[in-house]
Amino acid sequence: MRIIPFVLVLVLILQPAAAASVTASYGFLKETAVPGEDNLLFLTVSNPSPFEVNGVTVEVGAVPGVTVGRSEISVGSLSPGSSQTVSLRVSASDYGIFYIPLRIKYYRAGYVSESLELTVPLTISGDPVLSLSGTLSPEVGPGESANLSVTVFNAGPPAENLRVRINSTVFFPDTDSLFFGTVKTGERKSAEVRVTLSPDVRPGIYRIPVVLEYEDAAGLRKYREPRTISVRVSGETKLVLTAERSGRDLVLKVSNSGTQTARFLTLRVSGARAEPGEIYIGDLEPDDYDSERIKILEPPGTYRLVFNLSYSDPFGGSHSEIRAVTFEVPEEEKKEFPLWIPLLVLAALFLYLRRRR
């Protein structure tokens, strides 16, 4: 009969000890933060059991690169069904996801020590700030091939799995995408691809449409951004000047047999007085021409006329070319006075006098 009370007492002691436990949940004030920026971790410790737990404390483990406001937090006692929230200031020195170990210690039944362990991920990330530039090497013209070098610079948080896709109807790449991988803060990366230019491309500055695909440092956000890369397509301007005499006039023809536009083309005449002495032609496209007529205001003789052709290329460069033409101003033809005119006057006078008689 004495064994029964002992068993009953033992059951009464062990039953609350086995049922008493705690749970935990967490959240951050900010979803992500940048390096060196403080964030607040909110930790809620709950006691879902019908029994009280005592001496609840939270121990914060050390993580390289992570700074915490305190390494231990005292929660105290939790009555049945209650919870308590504590905060912890945290920050990290670099980008990435840092896992902070937490250990929640407590006592059940006033003397039995228990613990709950969990890991809290701290995300340090942000939006990368990417810029693009490109060059063709060597500089080529329509229908030719060259290496397209694409350079990426990151002025913001790291970009992961960066890929640049080329989408152009006049630049045909050997492969339509360039993979850069990770581009860190302040880092500049370059990659090359062979491209062939369409024969229809005209020399000038072209914007190649591309698409940037990448992720943030934590892999939480994926980005897809349309951009353009400006490249220079070179060409050649070939001006041909021909001149034909028409009396005292000179008929000029200026043609462009090259692949590059001559912009703001102006023709100036020297070596003799001419009218006009300066002619503004404007833009002369490839395979196009312009005709002008000038009058030489000089006495008969042979003159060496010098023509200065000045123009700009599509990139703003200035050019000047000299052409010379020998022109002969002819003698003015002497007009002989017709003899029949005075005879006609004398005949008219004779008839007039005869009638008066």
Q: DSSP string spanning 268-309?
A: EEESS-EESSEEEEEEE-TTEEEEEEEEE-S-SEEEEEEEEE
pLDDT at 356 (0 to 100): 64
Element (H, E) at 4: helix 3-19
pLDDT at 13 (0 to 100): 34
Contacts (Cβ under 8 Å, ≥6 apart) of 169: 198
Superfamily in which the 3-124 domain is placed by CATH: Immunoglobulins (2.60.40.10)
Q: How confident is the model at residue 263 (pLDDT cuts 50, 70, 90)?
A: very high
Residues of the chain within CATH 2.60.40.10 domain(s) are: 3-124, 130-233, 239-329
Mean pLDDT in residue range 84-111: 91
Question: Structure pTM?
Answer: 0.61
Superfamily in which the 130-233 domain is placed by CATH: Immunoglobulins (2.60.40.10)
Mean pLDDT in residue range 316-333: 86
Q: Are 196 and 148 in contact (CB under 8 A)?
A: no
pLDDT at 334 (0 to 100): 55
pLDDT at 345 (0 to 100): 74
* Domain 239-329: which CATH number of 3.10.620.30, 2.40.110.10, 3.40.50.1220, 2.60.40.10: 2.60.40.10
The pLDDT mean for the chain works out to 87
Model confidence at 288: pLDDT above 90: yes
Nearest Cα to Cα of residue 241 among 231, 232, 229, 254: 254
pLDDT at 2 (0 to 100): 41
Tokens of 220: 């939480």
Mean pLDDT in residue range 298-321: 91
Q: Give the tens place of pLDDT for each residue, 216-255.
A: 988 888 999 999 999 888 888 999 999 998 888 899 999 9
Q: How confident is the model at residue 357 (pLDDT cuts 50, 70, 90)?
A: low
pLDDT at 219 (0 to 100): 84
